[in-house]
Amino acid sequence: MAKKKLLIVESPAKAGTIKKYLGKDYTVMASMGHIIDLPKSQMGVDIEHDFTPKYITIRGKGQLLTQLKKEAKKADVVYLATDPDREGEAISWHLAQALNIDTESQCRVTFNEITKSAVKTAIKEPRKIDMDLVDAQQARRVLDRIVGYTISPILWDKVKRGLSAGRVQSVATKLICDREEEIENFTPQEYWSIEATLTEPKSKKDFTARYYGENGKEVKLNNAEETKRVSDDMKNAEFVVEKVKKGQQKRNPQPPFTTSTLQQEASRKYNFQAVKTMQIAQTLYEGVNLGGKIGTIGLITYMRTDSLRIADDARAEAIEYLTETYGKEYVNPRQFKSKKSAQDAHEAIRPTSINIKPIDIKDKLTNDQYKLYKLIWERFAASQMASAIYDTMQVTIDANGHTFKASGSNIKFKGYMTVYVEATDEKEKKTKMLPPLEEKEKVLLKDSTEKQHFTQPPARYTDATLIRELEENGIGRPSTYAPTISTIVSRGYVVRSKKQLVPTELGFVTTDILKNNFTNIVDVEFTAAMEEELDEVEEGKLNWKIILNEFYPSFKDSLEKAQENVEKIKIKDEESDVVCEKCGRKMVYKLSKFGKFLACPGYPECKNTKAIREETGAKCPKCGGEILVKKSRRGKIYYGCEHAPKCDFMVWDMPVKDEACPQCGGLLLKKQGKRGKIFCYNEDCKYERALKGDKE
């Protein structure tokens, strides 16, 4: 008689996918993430007894745990197949304890991708729970609890309720605040540039050369006088080609994505916030029903990784596909080196099969799933392709002792660029080749332009650049980047302005308190060193209790001093122009976990609140009411009538104010993007015009 087997995963979607791969002898259930954790109502760490965690069954998970225990008793074998990382290992450890499974038994199953072959292979190779991974997770969790549950009450008492501090979030907030201070303290420096439009006489082709200096040495133009002197000299000068340097340049493909680089590229290309990227990636990993013979399959490998490793069979499949599709000359198998701290048991993020082409399954995916899958597929395919080759040309031109330089390039062999071009390379792709030029050849001055410039302050962080900064400094790990940004925004320390992350007064105040009282907590080097120690726990080189015993004494000392020294700080709420209709006071802006709203400053006598009304300036074509900017439940912006739900007018494209359709007098809408346009809302009217160059 066949043995009954129970397989426990984290999510119902994953359970549904895996259930289809296994026979009737298997029951597949989801733990819905952690079932056992530290309590929310208290720190849950016994500091006096060697930092022992006090784990409890999470509220609301009791019934599920009872069901799991019931199924575990019925089963002959129980496999714990939670995610293949520290967090997943800890969940499996808690499940093993709760279900009376011997943690030394071969009960742990991990797979990097959810495909039939990967799942079946993993079940044939179970292992015992890796306590080094569990301890690394426990150390991180306990450390974060101690920091968060002891500093946060000080912030609540001295600033306002609802604030929090954390090892990673506080450093991230400090980075954003420091950058804002750099911007505010920045002193612009004036400089000038001269661009000469020159014509090559034989081909009659124009090209642009930039002023470089005097007699081959670089010289900066610092003001209008210096620039005018050069411009006056140019008018009667002969422009002679002094040097022509021709060459070839190779551009190598980027490695496949890690969590960090995927979040950065999705932010640059699609303006996805990090948390959105991870949500979409999760659905692609857990499984999508493609129908037909394939059925439900995980489309990408595990998406929380900092490894660049590629499995040999995945590379072999890619080489075969690329050779057949593009030819041998386009293929160059590569293995990329992961950084020292990477969890190399994982792979990089790649498609589970390169033969599942994005275009072939577009109708089975949502628009966002398609975009992200296409990005992952193309980046992986490109990583195994030949380098792109450019013909390059650099020219030095003399004009009466003034040196000008010009450069151009032309793609000779596209290589990997046939499939994928990174967002940061898009501009370079458009560089033109110079006309054929020879040394000692005279070229003609057609025109010249002098421009005044000022040095620019460093740019504010975006999701992409903050994630890159955190990763480069060794702060946090793949699983923490997205939730860190979400937390500092939801706490009101940072607001989004278009793509930029801008610190609020609250962000500055809390950062100053931490800088003055908990230096280590917001110190980049200290936090990075702590991450390295946590990695050593994972590698079995360091006992996790040692980290806590070294950290806590000085932290406790800082805590006691802060409780005495930090003074109460009153942050004044930003006043609006909206008058409270109940008591006549001017309402103020408040922040909740759902975003900004208006509240009466007379609380608790007056408890009036209202949503922030953002007008577009355009009128509803159905009833004449104001069209307002609104947000869907998922946070997507749309435009609707102020009289909703009585009036059902609603559009996704932005209404154009102060302009009616020139053909029918109707409402005009603006569609953004590469193919942006202004078009008429009236379906019977076909008016539209390109957005490019439009003043809107």
Token readout for 445 is 């001055």
Closest CA to 377 of 325, 342, 432: 325
| Residue 670, amino acid | K
For 641, the token pair is 């009538």
Structure tokens at 404: 């000008």
**Within a 10 A sphere around the Cβ of 630, how many other Cβ atoms?**
17
**Burial per residue of 226-237, b for 16 or more beta-carbon CB atoms within 10 angstroms, e otherwise:** ebeebbeebeee
Q: Give CA–CA dist 206/435, Å, rounded.
A: 8
* Sign of the torsion formed by the C-alpha atoms of 314, 90, 342 and 340: negative
Cross-strand partners of 413: 389
Q: Tell me, rounded to whole angstroms, the distance of Cα 212 from its chain centroid.
A: 38
Which residues partner with 483 through β-bridges? Answer: none
Would you call 302 a catalytic residue per the annotation? yes
Cα 515 from Cα 510, distance rounded (Å): 9
Helix (H), strand (E), coil (C) string for 22-51: CCCCEEEEECCCCCEECCCCCCCEEHHHCC
How far lies 310's CA from each of 258, 336, 352, in Å? 11, 8, 11
Residue 267: other Cβ atoms inside 10 A: 23
DSSP state of 430: G
Helices 167-185 & 505-517 angle (0-180, nearest 10)? 110
What is the rounded CA–CA span in Å between residue 144 and residue 510? 17
Contact between 108 and 87 under an 8 Å Cβ cutoff? The reply is no
DSSP 329: G
The region, left, alpha or beta by phi > 0 then psi within -120 to 50, assigned to residue 442 is: beta
Q: Which of 302, 326, 370, 639 is catalytic?
A: 302
Query: How far is Cα of residue 185 from the mean position of the Cα atoms in its chain?
Result: 28
Catalytically annotated residues: 302
